[in-house]
Structure 1
Amino acid sequence: MHDPLDGDTSKITLVRAKGSSVWDDKGREYLDCTSQAWSNSLGANDDRVVEAAIAQLREITHARPNFNTVPLLQLTSKLREISPGDLNRIGYCLHGSLAVEMAIKLAFKNRPGAQNLIVLQDAYHGRSITTMAASWPHPNNPFLPIQPRFTRVPHPDPYRPRLGMDIEAESQLCLHLLEETILKSVDGGVAAIMLEPIMGNGGHIVLPLSFHKGVRDICDRHGIILIWDEIQSCFGRTGAMFAADLYGIVPDIMTFGKGIGGGFPLAGIMASEKLNGFNSGEDALTFGQFPVAMAAAVATVDAIIADKLCDNARKLGDYATQRLVEMSERRKLIGDIRGPGLFVSIELVKDKQTKEPAPKAASEVYRRGVEKGVLFGESRYAGLGNLIKVKPPLDCTHEDMSRALDVLDDVLGSIEADGIA
């Protein structure tokens, strides 16, 4: 009997995947609007990625980080070609949480004497001991005694601005509070400010450009390192290769992951040429430079560019947003619609005036979507969120997106008819 450590005994057992579809062990097909945690950027089992991985398997499957490999050199060269600004120093690992930890370590190495790292209140940066501490507060956190401490600051929220403020006014307020925190609320100086350009598990909150520009300016004036966590937003998901390209902001360190590997595990950081690198032994992982995943990543990045998938994500996201706006006029549960690109989500509320979250309805959307053959994403975890995510692979067809939205509309109607909120 399988006894999963995460306590969930209701998981679907997947046995096959292709494109935007996955199949379970009962032969049932699902349209995957989660891209398996937003990682199958090309769709599952893209032939180019699979063939690149197989070819690499025949050559060398593992090399310790003391050595280079051909796919390591190829991928590094390719990433330097497309990296924003001067983010040309590349480091690798296999998971997003470790990429965030690598970024944190590099920031502290370059800010000797600084004692603090600032994150946003609804941030999500992973589930390792360190990155869980940097994320929105985990309920009944059993790991608190051994976690590092981060300073959380408020951020603007276009859907729920403080005191009914205009979003630009709230952006300026939050920037003011951030700078006051740096000057008056921490002892020992600040090494870095870390944020997601578009907040992921914390609510798909789209931070205004004025806030991003203001944070960049604050970092520049105070000599603080700016870390952008792009693990969820990189490689075409927003309709641009990176959110840094979308917003025209170049951080000092940027994390990447998920969509780069075409379904194979790979993550890492891009860092400014102005920063000092690690000394020997400061950041070394036995399998951190997995040649098979790197070969798959080279094929994935090539395909994203060749197939113009950033354009497809932008167009399909525009279509989804248009449909959802129309849907929101009929569905009382839809409180807000978010993008950009295929970073699509809706926030469900019990009442559009009070904006009270409707997490129970969100759980029902997922459950009923499964019954109708569509896998929607949810926000946060353990029933704590009230967002539904519609984030299929970047090469998803217009027909598949239309089907997903039809199912979403139908499911919301049935939930509303049943009085669930």
Structure 2
Amino acid sequence: MNISQTDTSHSRNILEQGKQSLIHDPLGGDEAKITLVRAKGSYVWDDQGRQYLDCTSQAWSNNLGANDPRVVEAAIAQLREITHARPNFNTIPLLKLTAKLREISPGDLNRIGYCLHGSLAVEMAMKLAFKNKPGRHNIIVLQDAYHGRSLTTMAASWPHPNNPFLPIQPRFTRVPHPDPYRPRLGMDVEMESKLCLRLLEETIHKGVDGGVVAIMMEPIPGNGGHIDLPLSFLRGVRDICDRNDIILIWDEIQSCFGRTGAMFAADYFGIVPDIMTFGKGISGGFPLAGILASERLTGFESGEDALTFGQFPVAMAAAVATIDAIIADDLCGKARDHGAFATQRLHEMADRRKLIGDIRGPGLFVSLELVKDRVSKEPATKAASEVYRRGLEKGVLFGESRYAGLGNLIKVKPPLDCTHEDMSHALDVLDDVLGSIEADGIA
């Protein structure tokens, strides 16, 4: 029975008071915001009893479909034993998860630290990098980077419009990266990759004072446009770090645990960073994040990195069950299959829907960029907002890069274990919605 059938008017008033009292809206205002009450697999339900196919996987966190019984049972079993332990102590879930991550981690990324969300994982990675390169002062990031919403990670991300926090934020050096859809000066992909690598190395030697600790980047820029960074660029950055004794940090909060069609993007691209952040898809919807670090790096000493709830036993038990399920169900393979099907359908759709400018992957890291005109490639931000709104009306939740009204990217990223029928339905709705938007002349 849904909440609208069971709630009294008094409790409904309480919910409305709660909405009015929230101090922030993480998406910058959403008139269509719904109140979720239940989730199962690839679906969520709101407080009016309406069902939605969730192509956002709740901020790309439900790589394994929501409320998977194996994860729920593992969490319940742990709830009966111990729900909290301060970081001075070990717990069984902590040790089991650490051993599991060591087993599946790329290369020598066998030192593991934990926290509860991605921003703190990124900060942990930066702290470890500074500890291992004493006397240096700079971290370099990419221009379209997104690393979080804490004071530090917001500063490391693409510029925040009218940023009120600048006086207390650290400074990062942003460098350009190749963009195959919008190459500079009409360059081909490889030439632009070489240009950006050259500019990166010149920045290291001439553009900063105090030496470079680390280059921090997402292998696939998540909130920055899902840009297909060329493999030559990714390999080139690794080479520059090696030659200049700089730590390479990969932020895999959005790309880990099967989303690309491999357990990690590092596996997909065949490149091992020195530190990798993880989060979102690791724990079946429970809060958990952290880092994988090279055995060559010195770890933290007492008091340098400790969080009261940083090793939440319930989330860790859920994470062990989630990773086991991802492997047992071959969700990496399913991500590749669903992604190939989706991108093929989107390319066919692009023959009819002129709003579609570009289609991106890999795996179920699927997105399409909407443009007003395929020649000018001017972003169609209003059309993107309409895709979200009209998709919602038709029972499908599409991801949208809506931050500050800048986004024109639509994301189609359901759980990796969604059915073929659900994937096909989502794309049918998207096709229909794009057609109606074009017919209304919205761009």
Match of 1:96 in 2: 118
Cα shift at 1:380: 4.8
Is the CA contact 2:161–2:404 (under 8 Å) kept in the aligned structure 1? no
Aligned pairs for 1:6-405 (under 5 A) are 6-7=24-25, 8=29, 10=31, 11-405=33-427
For residues 329 and 417 of structure 2, what CA distance do their matches in structure 1 show? 8
SS in structure 1 at match of 2:403: coil
Is the CA contact 1:84–1:250 (under 8 Å) kept in the aligned structure 2? yes
TM-score after normalising by structure 2: 0.94
% identity of equivalent residues: 85
After superposition, what is the alpha-carbon deviation per residue over 1:62-90, rounded to whole angstroms, capped at 9, x for unaligned? 00001110000000000000000000000
For residues 72 and 110 of structure 2, what CA distance do their matches in structure 1 show? 27
After superposition, what is the alpha-carbon deviation per residue over 1:2-45, rounded to whole angstroms, capped at 9, x for unaligned? 22222436320000000000000000000000000000111110
Q: Give the number of equivalent residue pairs.
A: 421
Q: Give the gaps of 5 or more residues in structure 2.
A: 1-16
Cα shift at 1:383: 2.1
Is the CA contact 1:201–1:380 (under 8 Å) kept in the aligned structure 2? no
Structure 1 pair 404–9 and aligned structure 2 pair: CA distance change class (3 A): closer
Is the CA contact 2:385–2:402 (under 8 Å) kept in the aligned structure 1? no
Is the CA contact 1:203–1:380 (under 8 Å) kept in the aligned structure 2? no
After superposition, what is the alpha-carbon deviation per residue over 1:81-121, rounded to whole angstroms, capped at 9, x for unaligned? 00000000000000000000000000000000001000000
For residues 252 and 263 of structure 1, what CA distance do their matches in structure 2 show? 27
The code of the aligned residue for 2:388 comes to Y
Match of 2:11 in 1: none
For residues 319 and 163 of structure 1, what CA distance do their matches in structure 2 show? 33
For residues 101 and 404 of structure 1, what CA distance do their matches in structure 2 show? 36
Is the CA contact 1:203–1:387 (under 8 Å) kept in the aligned structure 2? yes
For residues 336 and 5 of structure 1, what CA distance do their matches in structure 2 show? 37
After superposition, what is the alpha-carbon deviation per residue over 1:253-282, rounded to whole angstroms, capped at 9, x for unaligned? 000000001000000000000000011000
Structure 1 pair 159–9 and aligned structure 2 pair: CA distance change class (3 A): closer
Cα shift at 1:378: 0.8
For residues 211 and 228 of structure 2, what CA distance do their matches in structure 1 show? 28
For residues 142 and 397 of structure 1, what CA distance do their matches in structure 2 show? 44
TM-score after normalising by structure 1: 0.99
For residues 164 and 25 of structure 1, what CA distance do their matches in structure 2 show? 50
For residues 359 and 341 of structure 2, what CA distance do their matches in structure 1 show? 12
For residues 402 and 125 of structure 2, what CA distance do their matches in structure 1 show? 23
For residues 5 and 325 of structure 1, what CA distance do their matches in structure 2 show? 42
The code of the aligned residue for 1:397 comes to T
SS in structure 2 at match of 1:352: coil
SS in structure 2 at match of 1:268: strand
Match of 1:5 in 2: 23
For residues 140 and 429 of structure 2, what CA distance do their matches in structure 1 show? 40
For residues 135 and 80 of structure 2, what CA distance do their matches in structure 1 show? 47
Is the CA contact 2:63–2:281 (under 8 Å) kept in the aligned structure 1? yes
For residues 377 and 405 of structure 2, what CA distance do their matches in structure 1 show? 18
After superposition, what is the alpha-carbon deviation per residue over 1:166-186, rounded to whole angstroms, capped at 9, x for unaligned? 001000000000000000010
- Of stretches 266-275 and 1-10 in structure 1, the one that deviates more from structure 2 is 1-10
After superposition, what is the alpha-carbon deviation per residue over 1:355-393, rounded to whole angstroms, capped at 9, x for unaligned? 000111000000000000000001251321000000000
After superposition, what is the alpha-carbon deviation per residue over 1:142-170, rounded to whole angstroms, capped at 9, x for unaligned? 11111100000000001001011000100
